[in-house]
Amino acid sequence: MKRFTRDQMAARVARDIQEGAYVNLGIGLPTLVANHLPKGREIFLHSENGLLGMGPAPAQGEEDFDLINAGKQPVTLLPGGAYFHHADSFAMMRGGHLDICVLGAFQVSATGDLANWHTGAPDAIPAVGGAMDLAIGAKRVFVMMEHQTRSGESKIVPRCTYPLTGVACVTRVFTDLAVIDITPAGMRVAEMVEGLPFDELQRMTAVPLLPPVAALGAA
Amino acid sequence: MKRFTRDQMAARVARDIQEGAYVNLGIGLPTLVANHLPKGREIFLHSENGLLGMGPAPAQGEEDFDLINAGKQPVTLLPGGAYFHHADSFAMMRGGHLDICVLGAFQVSATGDLANWHTGAPDAIPAVGGAMDLAIGAKRVFVMMEHQTRSGESKIVPRCTYPLTGVACVTRVFTDLAVIDITPAGMRVAEMVEGLPFDELQRMTAVPLLPPVAALGAA
Amino acid sequence: MINKIVASLDASVADIPDGSTIMIGGFGTAGMPSALVDALIRQGARDLTIVGNNAGNAEIGLAALLKARRARKIICSFPRQTDSYVFDALYRAGDIELELVPQGNLAERIRAAGAGIGAFFTPTGYGTPLAEGKETRLIDGRNYVLEYPLHADYALIKADRGDRWGNLVYRKTARNFGPIMASAARCSIAQVREVVPLGALDPEIIVTPGIFVQRVVAIRDDAVRAVAGAAA
Amino acid sequence: MINKIVASLDASVADIPDGSTIMIGGFGTAGMPSALVDALIRQGARDLTIVGNNAGNAEIGLAALLKARRARKIICSFPRQTDSYVFDALYRAGDIELELVPQGNLAERIRAAGAGIGAFFTPTGYGTPLAEGKETRLIDGRNYVLEYPLHADYALIKADRGDRWGNLVYRKTARNFGPIMASAARCSIAQVREVVPLGALDPEIIVTPGIFVQRVVAIRDDAVRAVAGAAA
């Protein structure tokens, strides 16, 4: 079966980010999205550790370890960017000023609950960082994840079994198989990977899905 | 009877302001204190509208109406001064970072309640400004006022009859007759204007006063 | 390309509907966006709720807006000034509603709106008439009053320089309420003395990052001076 | 004359008693005041409660402090890093207490301490294990958790330049927790790359006014570079 690669997922997320959007890309998979933002489109990348207008990684040898992103990797600042302290940075997040954040996830529930910070494993070192602030703060919360775990379990679940990051906060889920919206009516498929029948997607998803609106006539 | 002039009161308050103190001088009478701070003593004047390190009034013709104090008069900034916004300015006040504020008052109660923003007159336009923040924020709250109203009533009262600015917040009262501390034991006279007998001061004060500690032996 | 620079004062306020809640920056006339307020008067929106520190001076800016009877209510800390006769008359006649807020609570409520805080316990005002009817709580031996955020539909603020992304820097104590009001409104409009090219503002000194600003409009330097002069 | 410049790192931390609550700035190693932390290790204070974003990297700075078993408890948002093995081992052995706080709540609790706020309702963490047992409230249709301020006895922070009044400016994202921690501690100690004469810092660009800073200590520029290098 055909699946979106990680870069294809990132490119698909990037397509949904309009010009002028203030965007936070979570650590891990979501950072890939930056590589796929159209060059001509001005998009403002926010990093929780106190910058807006984040640019690409610096050339090797030009790293400045006072200029890093949330993943603690060296980055650059675009002309027009700004620095600020942590309380101001999280005011931007909590205050609803970000248009979009893109987060990785362990699980997303049918009602948009997000679990992405802890597997619940008793010996794990818990660490939450800014995930809970992003989950509840941005106007739209995009989740970017594999559709299934390595052992083939659906990461879209009726109720999260892992500890929650936020309640009813996810707007849209981008997986390697489909793009799915959390709507008041339920989870509605917006797009599927080419050639994947809706029934097959449903079979791999532990929550009842609504078919794409465009496909309703054919359903 | 001898009374402290306004300038003498201001000079007396100034004597209680140690080097290095962060101080806010309220509008009206307290602004006089700035003229009496010893030249060699570095004292940091805060103004609620967003500056620390306030200097003296500018020379005539050199006023900058973007650089004003809480009374909206042009001021100057000393080298080492700083500007900040209103939330940060009041964080300094509310957060207990000011060592001293000096406020005018209509009434001070026996337990240090302060009334200085409203006479309760029904046709008055109410206006509070930063008085309530200063009253509860500074480590020590000095009140500077005439001992009596023009009609001879004590402004030190068992309970304020005017609307309160703050509860149990005043530390020390400087009047034209005396310096009086609010202590757990009651109002204790620290100093009196030269030649004023304690009994005479008590007669003009509507709250029982404790005599100066130095005078206890003689009492 | 994102360009938040608006060509004219009038265009910058054209869409403000009747009934809006509008924050207006300034402490007295320092930081008062008089050019924007004048544009708002020309625009004609009425039944406004105004949030600001004062209630206008003489008959310029905010006072002129009040005189034109465009405001239903004002939320402020210090309406009474030597030259606030326009407000005074309206208030005495019962023609404007006043919500009086201690200045620090006003600033913190505005900041809370921008920062997504649902409510906060403040010691300011406890035991005073301005806390009457409000929830109180004893925390660690100190008494506090619960206060709620103040949101706005629009913020009109004055800054010194701005760029096309909406980044702003201010001038001296004219900064006052500008940065927090910019964060608390759905649409924040800044009048600036000078529009500068992107990148001209050092990222270390930007006070209001563009995320909080939707529109920037330049006014001629002499206009700023005239406003400052009028304040004296 | 007020002079907050302290002659040496060791002198700047000499009076910190056992049992203190100490905020330590930095996000990873950016803004981490490693020279001060090293001085604190030499000083020997123990039974400390540490407040910071992370729990140390490799065996430098905060990690070295933990390794020396000086901390009883750490309050932070993200202890687990690729090189946080010192903390990880202590935690797994039950040798250190952890209070995990969402990063924005951590920042806001620190800011609340500096700003005299008694408590605040935050939407972050509602419905998650990190809000368990905490007071919640529905305000305007949204659920919030009540969080309390985080005060400290000392704050150790890193800034770029400082003057004898304690005014500070920072460098790029090394700013992070510095300004709010400075405001939340009874005694804030800043290590700076350079001490500059009073008046050399433009009053418009001072990020932390001296009122929040009690001590400033200069460290050699090469020391800063070495710390930055170690972070890579």
Instruction: State pLDDT tens for residues C87-116.
Output: 999 999 999 999 999 999 999 999 999 999
Residues of chain C positioned with their CB less than 8 A from the CB of B72: 27-30, 81
Give the whole-angstrom CA distance, residue C199 versus residue A64: 19
Mean pLDDT for chain A overall: 95
Residues of chain B positioned with their CB less than 8 A from the CB of D182: none
- As beta bridge partners, residue C71 has C48
Nearest CA in chain D to B40: D1
For residue C67, which amino acid is it? K
Other CB atoms within 10 Å distance of the CB of residue B158: 12
**C-alpha distance from C119 to closest chain A C-alpha (Å):** 13
C214-229 pLDDT, tens per residue? 999 999 754 444 444 4
For residue B105, which amino acid is it? A
Residue C108 lies in a domain: yes
A71-116 pLDDT, tens per residue? 999 999 999 999 999 999 999 999 999 999 999 999 999 999 999 9
Cβ within 8 Å, pair B91-D113? no
Residues of chain B positioned with their CB less than 8 A from the CB of D199: 79-80
Give the whole-angstrom CA distance, residue D151 versus residue D51: 9
Residues of chain B positioned with their CB less than 8 A from the CB of C209: none
Instruction: List all residues of chain B from 39 to 78 with a beta carbon under 8 Å from chain D.
Output: 42, 44, 46, 51-53, 77
pLDDT at A139: 98
Do residues D208 and D178 make contact, with C-beta atoms less than 8 angstroms apart?
yes
Q: For D195-199, what is the mean pLDDT?
A: 97
Cα B157 to chain centroid, rounded: 17
HEC string of chain A?
Answer: CCCCCHHHHHHHHHHCCCCCCEEEECCCHHHHHHHHCCCCCCCEEEECCCEEEEECCCCCCCCCCCCECCCCCECEEEEEEEECCHHHHHHHHHCCCCCEEEECCCEEECCCCEECCCCCCCCCCCCCCCHHHHHHHCCEEEEECCCECCCCCECEECCCCCCCCECCCCCEEECCCEEEEEECCEEEEEEECCCCCHHHHHHCCCCCEECCHHHHHHC
Residues of D with CB under 8 A from a CB of B: 1-2, 111, 113-117, 163-165, 167, 183, 198-199, 201, 203-204, 206, 209-212
Q: DSSP states of D13-70 as a string?
A: TTTPPTT-EEEE--BTTBT--HHHHHHHHHHT--SEEEE-SB--BTTBTHHHHHHTT-
Give the whole-angstrom CA distance, residue D87 versus residue D56: 7
A188-197 pLDDT, tens per residue? 999 999 999 9
Answer whether A touches B (≥3 Cβ pairs < 8 Å): no
Residues of chain D positioned with their CB less than 8 A from the CB of C116: 122-123
User: Phi and psi (nearest 5°) for D131?
Assistant: -110, 5
Fold exhibited by the domain A6-218? Glutaconate Coenzyme A-transferase (3.40.1080)
A200 part of contact set with chain C, CB < 8 Å = no
Residues of D with CB under 8 A from a CB of C: 108, 112, 115-123, 137, 139-140, 142, 144, 148, 169-172, 202-205
Q: Which residue of B47, B92, B101, B169 to mutate against D (max D Cβ within 10 Å)?
A: B92
Residue with tokens 């532990």: A206
A140 part of contact set with chain C, CB < 8 Å = no
Residue D110 lies in a domain: yes
Give the whole-angstrom CA distance, residue C51 versus residue C53: 7
pLDDT at D229: 41
Percent share of chain A, pLDDT over 70: 97
Task: Locate B178 and state its tokens.
Answer: 């005396």
Give the whole-angstrom CA distance, residue B21 versus residue A144: 54
- For chain D, how many residues are written? 232
Q: For A175-200, what is the mean pLDDT?
A: 97
Give the whole-angstrom CA distance, residue D66 versus residue D72: 9
Q: For A193-217, what is the mean pLDDT?
A: 89
Question: A145 pLDDT exceeds 50?
Answer: yes
pLDDT at A122: 84
User: Phi and psi (nearest 5°) for A180?
Assistant: -130, 130
| D142-147/C21-24 β-pairing | unpaired
Residues of chain A positioned with their CB less than 8 A from the CB of D110: 87
pLDDT at B196: 96
pLDDT at C220: 74
Using CB atoms within 10 Å of the CB of residue D148, give its burial: 0 to 12 exposed, 13 to 18 middle, 19+ buried: middle
Cβ-nearest to D104 among A50, A83, A90: A90
Neighbors of chain D with 3 or more C-beta pairs under 8 Å: A, B, C
Give the whole-angstrom CA distance, residue C36 versus residue C44: 13
Do residues B98 and B89 make contact, with C-beta atoms less than 8 angstroms apart?
no
B129 part of contact set with chain D, CB < 8 Å = no
Nearest CA in chain C to A133: C116
- CB–CB contacts below 8 A, C to D: 64
Which segments in chain C show pLDDT lower than 70?
221-232
Cβ within 8 Å, pair D118-C121? yes
**C-alpha distance from A40 to closest chain C C-alpha (Å):** 8
B170 part of contact set with chain C, CB < 8 Å = no
Other CB atoms within 10 Å distance of the CB of residue B147: 21
pLDDT at C221: 52
Cβ-nearest to A81 among C1, C116, C203: C203
Give the whole-angstrom CA distance, residue C79 versus residue C61: 14
pLDDT at A1: 77
Cβ-nearest to D115 among B81, B83, B95: B95
Grouping H, G, I as helix, E, B as strand and the rest as coil, residue D143 is strand
pLDDT at C5: 98
B48 is catalytic: yes
Answer whether D touches C (≥3 Cβ pairs < 8 Å): yes
Residues of chain A positioned with their CB less than 8 A from the CB of C198: 79-80
Task: Locate D61 and state its tokens.
Answer: 């700075």
Residues of chain A positioned with their CB less than 8 A from the CB of D179: 85, 87
> How many domains does chain D fold into?
1
Q: Which candidate in A48, A62, A63, A146 is catalytic?
A: A48
Q: For D84-89, what is the mean pLDDT?
A: 95
Do residues B160 and B113 make contact, with C-beta atoms less than 8 angstroms apart?
yes
Q: DSSP states of chain B as a string?
A: -----HHHHHHHHHHT--TT-EEEE-SSGGGGGGGGS-TTS--EEEETTTEEEEEPPPPTT---TTSB-TTS-B-EEEEEEEE--HHHHHHHHHTT--SEEEE--SEEETT--EE-S----TTS----TTHHHHHHHSSEEEEE--SB-TTS-BSEESS--SPPSBSS---EEE-SSEEEEEETTEEEEEEE-TT--HHHHHHT-SS-EEPPGGGGGG-
Cβ within 8 Å, pair A91-C116? yes
Residues of chain B positioned with their CB less than 8 A from the CB of D206: 82-84
Nearest CA in chain A to C118: A95
Q: Which residue of C88, C173, C193 to mutate against B (max B Cβ within 10 Å)?
A: C173
**C-alpha distance from C114 to closest chain A C-alpha (Å):** 5
Residues of C with CB under 8 A from a CB of D: 108, 112, 115-123, 137, 139-140, 142, 144, 148, 169-172, 202-205
Q: Which residue of C29, C95, C128, C147 to mutate against B (max B Cβ within 10 Å)?
A: C128
Give me the interface pTM, i.e. the ipTM.
Answer: 0.96
Which segments in chain B show pLDDT lower than 50?
217-219
B81 part of contact set with chain D, CB < 8 Å = yes
- For chain B, how many residues are written? 219
Task: Locate B21 and state its tokens.
Answer: 């103190």
User: Phi and psi (nearest 5°) for A213?
Assistant: -60, -40
pLDDT at A215: 54
For residue A53, which amino acid is it? G
- Residue (of A185, A189, A216, A184) closest to A205 by Cα position: A189
Cβ-nearest to C128 among B83, B129, B163: B163
Long-range Cβ pairs for the range B31-38 (8 Å, 24+) = B31/B69, B31/B71, B32/B6, B32/B7, B33/B102, B33/B144, B35/B7, B35/B10, B36/B7, B36/B10, B36/B11, B38/B14
Cα C46 to chain centroid, rounded: 17
Residues of chain D positioned with their CB less than 8 A from the CB of B95: 113-116, 183
Do residues C62 and C22 make contact, with C-beta atoms less than 8 angstroms apart?
no
**C-alpha distance from B38 to closest chain D C-alpha (Å):** 12
Angle at which helices D221-231 and D34-43 cross, to 10°:
100
Cβ within 8 Å, pair D117-B77? no
- Which residue ranges make up each domain of chain B? 6-218
Do residues D219 and D190 make contact, with C-beta atoms less than 8 angstroms apart?
no
What is this structure's pTM?
0.96
Question: A219 pLDDT exceeds 50?
Answer: no
Give the whole-angstrom CA distance, residue D75 versus residue D49: 8
Do residues D216 and D188 make contact, with C-beta atoms less than 8 angstroms apart?
no
Question: D226 pLDDT exceeds 70?
Answer: no
Cβ within 8 Å, pair A133-D232? no
Residues of chain D positioned with their CB less than 8 A from the CB of C178: none
CATH code, domain with C36: 3.40.1080.10
- Residue (of A64, B81, A186, C142) closest to D206 by Cα position: B81
- The angle at the Cα of A121, spanning A120 to A124, to the nearest 5 degrees, equals 105
Grouping H, G, I as helix, E, B as strand and the rest as coil, residue D163 is coil
Residue C140 lies in a domain: no
pLDDT at C226: 42
Grouping H, G, I as helix, E, B as strand and the rest as coil, residue C108 is helix
Q: Which candidate in B19, B42, B48, B62 is catalytic?
A: B48
The sign of the dihedral angle between the CA atoms of C135, C139, C141, C145 is negative
Neighbors of chain C with 3 or more C-beta pairs under 8 Å: A, B, D
Domain of D40?
18-118+151-231
CA dihedral B171, B175, B178, B181 (to 10 degrees): -10
Cβ-nearest to D114 among B44, B53, B95: B95
- As beta bridge partners, residue C23 has C51, C155
Other CB atoms within 10 Å distance of the CB of residue B125: 18
